[in-house]
Structure 1
Amino acid sequence: MNAPNSFSRRTLLTGSLATGFLLAFHLPLRAAGNEPVQRDVTEGKFAPNAFIRIDETGRTVLMMPQVEMGQGTYTSISAVIAEELDADWSKVEVQHAPPNDKLYGNPTFGLQVTGNSNSIRAWWLPLRKAGATARAMLVQAAASQWGVEAASCTASKGVVAHAASGRKLTYGELALAAQGQTPPKDVAIKDPRDFVLIGQPLKRLDTPDKVNGKALYGIDAILPGMKIAVIANCPVFGGKVGKVDDSAATKVAGVRKVVVLDDAVAVIGDHMWAAKKGLEALKIEWNEGPNAKISTKDVWDDLRKASQKDGAVAKSDGDIAKALASGDKFEAAYELPFLAHASMEPINATVHVRPDACEIWTGTQIMTRVQSEAAKAAGVSVDKVIVNQHLLGGGFGRKLEPDMVVAAVKIAKQVDYPVKVIWTREEDIQHDVYRPVYRDQITASLVDGKVAGWKYKVAGSAVLARWLPPAFQKGIDIDAIDAAVDAPYDFANFHVEYVRAEPLSVPTGFWRGVGPNNNVFAVECAMDELARKAGKDPIEFRKSMLTKKPRMLAVLNQVAEKSGWGQPLPARVGRGVCVQPSFASFIATVVEAEIDDYGEIALRRITSVVDTGIAVNPDTVKAQIEGGLIFGLTAALYGEITIDKGRVQQSNFHDYRMMRINETPKIEVIVVKSGEAPGGIGEAGVNAGPPALRNAIYAATGVALRRLPIDRKLLAAGKKA
């Protein structure tokens, strides 16, 4: 696609960094040109299904149903399809799939959505069958030309061969003939022993362009005649615009228009600087409404009160009342705060609204919902909305929401040219859809050094009740109780409840790690406290109750060995463990940390052993666990969004900070070889870090923290939380 050349920050990298590129990587990255990328042209190509396009040159285009936001999905999905297709890996290209729930809906949700660490596990069989079906049609086309049985032909690297006669035809030569073949109903997929691509440490397809500056995100979209808009949302949740004095703003050079919405004001300018300076010059009076009195204390008071109610029963085995009446009793409550997503790429969307159509350029985790919500905002039918998907500069669940696109459409409706709407970092953090506050209460009893009864109550938002109402049934949010109802341990008497408690006015949504965030933390912290109460080593205590979970027990044994568990440590240095069956993967993690007399924490070492079934790309598995650990540990050390007078108090990385390079220890990730179906991996490391760190602190200091982020004053004082 053609676009004006422009010097960018990435240009600085191109002169000094170079790397090989294994596959051609076609993306609709530059928002220019006359061919909207959502139009899937199949004429003159072999198009056996929604995912594969092969033309007469052998060019093989794989349509990606899931989005790439740094997790390596494009590379892994390409490998899964290409494996069964027996494609020539060097001729494979990747394209974003257009919005279409029917063709590209995630098999788990029925929506074209990327989340819940399920891109590979949900698509594992459907995409393999799609590749195998296409391969069978190509083989049959060749066999028909040669007048031989298809069973006597083989396919490899984009070529069908007939060994007996020595004849060969490329997929390009067979493309048109294969289009006329009837797709087989029950095609055989490969035995894992025959995999060529799956299981190999393939280089990420998106890395080279990210290094040399060619990769473009939603915020990089450029259109002829495009203007830039900066937005100011009402600082109080639920507030509205009162009066706007734009007299000073309209005098700023480059300012084109001031747009007033119901709850926000935007300034459109020739460039970002003009729009930003114009916004700063506005005088806005807000109708703040009743939420202007709400504080963090109010939110927690409300949640703690709600958590005392009986909840909807999610699971109950055995006689929990009898079990809790016997043995040594334990009670604790664990609390997690609001968190922002703070993706590297701030919220943005570029929109061009015409009288009969609306075109959008953005990076989103849910294309079809963006399309439908944009249609409502633009006042056109869904088929008149074109969504051009871009790489995401981080998603973490924030881009499962369409609000930024809806706002951009409303702004773009006011003008006749394309508008790129950008949220500043401050707007991004202060108008997020936040990870909910959670309070998890545990009552347990110990008999003969094991847990005899386990009663668990989760209190917090029901994100699914808003985001996907059919998934909210009988008062249970299945996400909020994830990793609580399927705790890995052998608890004969086991009871889990859920109390829906929506925080006062604060919008909540999915945050990387979703439900297991709060539940893995609470379960694993409680297990360490129970181990100490029973006078047992934390790992040995867990092992005694993992007899029915061999995969979980195996990774725990291995992490104990690899981390040096049990070896002597200096004073105020501890090791903490976390065990989790998150997203159909089994992970055991040990964090080693040192706590000084002032309560400051130094991470010394992290070891994680991962059984995620068949690892499509082992390098991606390791990278995702490493990144997830850093993401989760950042939240444990620093992450908290607080509210005062209805406003978020944090605004940028100075007061909502990230873990820094010098704070990140050596991380060793061991991937277990397995023949089981793939599990999810993108979020698992996020859940592992916080409880393992908390348990390391507990081992080093004896302080049993039960809230995040970590309170350094408590550690310095040596008091229990």
Structure 2
Amino acid sequence: MSVQTTRRGFLAGGAGLMLALTLPLDRARAQAVISGPFAPNAFIRIGTDDLVTVMIKHIEMGQGPYTGLATLVAEELDADWSQMRAEGAPADDKLYANLAFGAQGTGGSTAMANSFMQMRKAGAAARAMLVGAAAAEWGVPAEEITVKAGVVAHAASGKSSGFGALSAAAASQPVPEDPPVKSAADFVLIGKDRPKLDTVAKTNGTAQFTMDVYRDGMLTVVVAHPPKFGATVTSFDDKAALAVKGVEMVRQISSGVAVYATNTYAALKGRDALAVQWDDSAAETRGSAEMFDAYVKAATEGGITVEEQGDMPDMAGAAKVLEAEYRFPYLAHAPMEPLDAVIEVKDGRAEMWFGSQFPTFDKPTVAKALGIAPENVAINVLLAGGSFGRRAQGSAHLAAEAGEVAKAAGRDGAFKLVWTREDDLKGGYYRPMTVHKFRAGIDADGKIIGWENTVANQSIMMGTPMEAMLKGGPDNTSYEGSTNLPYQFGARRIGWARMESPVSVLWWRSVGHTHTAYAVETFLDEVLEAAGKDPVQGRLDLLPPDATRERGVIEKVAEISGWAGPVRDGKGYGIAYTKSFNTYVAEVVEVEDRGGVPHVTRVWCAVDCGIAVNPNVIRAQMEGGIGYALGTALHNHITFAPGGEVEQSNFHDYPMLRIHEMPAVEVAIIASDADPTGVGEPGVPPLAPAMANAWRAVSGARQYQLPFGGAIS
């Protein structure tokens, strides 16, 4: 039986209004992508059953765009929340481009920020078309018609209608290109808690993920990847693999050796039976300790200057000089759903079903692998079981591998490419290993007169299609969060040393802020301590008068946590502040010393993300980010044995946070009338430094290396 997921039930609910609004409007393009009896939609479909389906251009991987963006449409459409539905938009960057970076993709916590006005305009246009249809049918002035909770009404005549009965007529109405939208004072749904639209389906098992997709005659494929990064296949013997019942073929592709079978078990057994010889001549063969030695040397040499302010003083003239060196390991993303993709090739065309986070890159990559035109490739974007950056592949390596698997088969057919947990943890695309070197000087009055920080790590963007975004400059994602600090230091210099390795690296939830926040906020805490200043007041004193949003979250988190200093009642309290992805977050962490091991009992979080479209989603993302960051800080690292092989393989040696380790979390959302910003990532960066500051306060231990639970060098 064939299952096709993202187009399932496409005309369910009957024919209705299909609105094509892309800002700018492109009805012809929408018609080519989504067929239907009326003008097809880019964002909105209204059926005769009154259901409103919103096409979401951002992949839903748990962070809430299905709910958040549907809320924007519902608000301007004046729909009732019960009639709202959401569906993943197919790959088409002309219709569904992320307005933040001009390509169809999800990342950088931009889903809400780039869609805020676009989706509201789409909803307002649909409302205007429904009103226009009602006015024509009832013979009344459009300005006398009201819309509320999904009901279109004319009070004077007593006439009313749901959306569905008007949808066919509304489809023939002209589409307003720039309809007015509501003022914030008139919001009905925006700013209110709403249940997530995908929760029920994910709870009852009806939600469709890539592993749920089965096509007629489909083969499951697993790939034997090299055990060392940069290694390539010299030769292989597939005789034993082909002897496994269910294995149908074995093919070499650029990333390794692919085993095709009638089921997953057979594919895995066949891969186990392979005998592969690898060429390690271009591979990474250093262990973690040797790598860190090189990184420390580069950081000590200072790198290139990426930010400089004032003249760095002679630190010998300072009353106190503090220095520190921080080491951060490679990190895997470890989403609950490892990578997978389904591809079907037939008559020179290809269709894919998978959690594509960057369809703009995936579509041409698959086309190139197959030797066909991009317009002959269709990608259905499915739900994803987490990502944290793992699916945001500038190299489109998963799509490339799927395309090569289909091409190497030598025939038309359907193929499901599956990565196991071990493949994922050993397969790279990690958060880069990083070293920070710090030096700061304070004068006799405790004032910071100089601040120097050099960062050494690999570039994520250079050498990928994303490099064009750098416009010839250094990769700022490697050190973001160490520059543009709000604090007023006397003088500062930030350096960056680009490191090279065959180990593949990628964005990891909150990208550069994952390490810069920890290094900056823990070192700053030590500097403030040396100056005799309170951690909260010391940060506030360093802020300029116009830093109102920074000040707002720091003061709010101090208020809700009842801040009374770093130690009380035998517990440690630490604070950290970070602005990432244009969202301001401050967190206070409460830590207990349990036999020399830190245990986080409570976390308070204040977040300013502009207009809070759905407070429920914002709180969930802050809580989830805190849990994700805490588990990583306590447990996680990817390490290399001497010789270059990854030592971790599954959750037994790359553990996730357990329920008994999760603290109580209180989130305060700062009221704001600013345009909304991202919440998927900004909850992560402050947690680990606040925890480290609290741990230092209660135990005296200074943590210059993560994770807390184990040495990496």
Fold shared, TM-score > 0.5 on shorter chain: yes
Q: Describe the SS at the equivalent of 2:91.
A: coil
The structure 2 residue matched to 1:573, chosen from 571, 574, 577, is 571
The structure 2 residue matched to 1:456, chosen from 453, 457, 470, is 453
Deviations 1:64-85 (A, max 9, x none): 0101001111011100111112
Q: Tell me the number of residue pairs that the alignment of Structure 1 and Structure 2 aligns.
A: 687
Question: What is residue 404 of structure 1 aligned with on the other side?
Answer: 398
Deviations 1:365-406 (A, max 9, x none): 112211111101111111111212211011111111221222
1:625 Cα deviation after fit: 0.9
1:569 Cα deviation after fit: 5.3
1:39 Cα deviation after fit: 7.2
Question: What is residue 15 of structure 1 aligned with on the other side?
Answer: none
Cα distance, 1:485–1:163 mapped onto 2, change above 3 Å? farther
The structure 2 residue matched to 1:606, chosen from 580, 603, 607, is 603
Cα distance in structure 2, aligned partners of 1:470 and 1:336: 27
Cα distance in structure 1, aligned partners of 2:110 and 2:691: 26
Matched, 1:282 2:274: yes
Cα distance, 1:184–1:279 mapped onto 2, change above 3 Å? closer
Contact residue 28 and residue 390 of structure 1 kept, 8 A: no
Question: What is residue 517 of structure 1 aligned with on the other side?
Answer: 514
Q: Describe the SS at the equivalent of 1:404.
A: helix
Cα distance in structure 2, aligned partners of 1:423 and 1:192: 46
Contact residue 348 and residue 405 of structure 1 kept, 8 A: no
The structure 2 residue matched to 1:694, chosen from 684, 687, 692, is 692
Question: What is residue 631 of structure 1 aligned with on the other side?
Answer: 628
Question: What is residue 490 of structure 1 aligned with on the other side?
Answer: 488
Q: Describe the SS at the equivalent of 1:604.
A: strand
Cα distance, 1:296–1:572 mapped onto 2, change above 3 Å? farther
Q: Describe the SS at the equivalent of 1:659.
A: coil
Structure 2 gaps, min length 5:
13-29
Matched, 1:126 2:118: yes
The structure 1 residue matched to 2:558, chosen from 560, 577, 584, is 560
Cα distance, 1:325–1:548 mapped onto 2, change above 3 Å? farther
Give the TM-score normalised by the residue count of structure 1: 0.89
Q: Describe the SS at the equivalent of 1:228.
A: strand
Question: What is residue 11 of structure 1 aligned with on the other side?
Answer: none
1:618 Cα deviation after fit: 0.9
5 Å matches for 1:310-709? 310-321=302-313, 326=318, 328-401=320-393, 402-413=396-407, 414=409, 415-447=411-443, 448-467=445-464, 468-491=466-489, 493-502=491-500, 504-546=501-543, 547-566=545-564, 573-597=571-595, 599-644=596-641, 645-709=643-707
1:29 Cα deviation after fit: 7.3
Cα distance in structure 1, aligned partners of 2:75 and 2:126: 11
Question: What is residue 76 of structure 2 aligned with on the other side?
Answer: 84
Q: What is the letter of the counterpart of residue 685 of structure 1?
A: G
Question: What is residue 303 of structure 1 aligned with on the other side?
Answer: 295
CA RMSD of aligned residues (A): 2.7
Mean Cα deviation higher: 305-314 or 278-287: 305-314
Cα distance in structure 2, aligned partners of 1:569 and 1:492: 29
Cα distance in structure 2, aligned partners of 1:144 and 1:322: 78
Question: What is residue 27 of structure 2 aligned with on the other side?
Answer: none
1:264 Cα deviation after fit: 1.0
Q: Describe the SS at the equivalent of 2:463.
A: helix
Mean Cα deviation higher: 227-236 or 81-90: 81-90
The structure 2 residue matched to 1:41, chosen from 34, 47, 55, is 34
Q: What is the letter of the counterpart of residue 589 of structure 1?
A: E
Mean Cα deviation higher: 183-192 or 311-320: 311-320
Q: Describe the SS at the equivalent of 2:581.
A: helix
Q: What is the letter of the counterpart of residue 207 of structure 1?
A: T
Deviations 1:652-703 (A, max 9, x none): 1111111111111212222223222212111112112111111111111222
Q: Describe the SS at the equivalent of 1:685.
A: coil
Cα distance in structure 1, aligned partners of 2:138 and 2:489: 63
Cα distance, 1:704–1:292 mapped onto 2, change above 3 Å? closer
Question: What is residue 17 of structure 1 aligned with on the other side?
Answer: none
Cα distance, 1:92–1:711 mapped onto 2, change above 3 Å? closer
Q: Report percent identity of matched pairs.
A: 38
1:446 Cα deviation after fit: 2.3
Cα distance in structure 1, aligned partners of 2:494 and 2:566: 38
Q: Describe the SS at the equivalent of 1:285.
A: strand
Deviations 1:391-448 (A, max 9, x none): 1011111111221222122222214431212112111110120101122233323243
Contact residue 567 and residue 697 of structure 2 kept, 8 A: no
Contact residue 435 and residue 511 of structure 1 kept, 8 A: yes
Cα distance, 1:162–1:319 mapped onto 2, change above 3 Å? farther
Q: What is the letter of the counterpart of residue 72 of structure 1?
A: G
Deviations 1:572-622 (A, max 9, x none): 63111111122222211111112344x322222111122222111111111
Contact residue 249 and residue 282 of structure 1 kept, 8 A: yes
Cα distance in structure 2, aligned partners of 1:125 and 1:486: 28
Mean Cα deviation higher: 471-480 or 267-276: 471-480
1:290 Cα deviation after fit: 3.6
1:252 Cα deviation after fit: 1.6
Contact residue 38 and residue 386 of structure 1 kept, 8 A: no
1:237 Cα deviation after fit: 0.9
1:484 Cα deviation after fit: 2.4
Contact residue 584 and residue 682 of structure 2 kept, 8 A: no
Cα distance in structure 2, aligned partners of 1:235 and 1:428: 12
1:292 Cα deviation after fit: 5.3
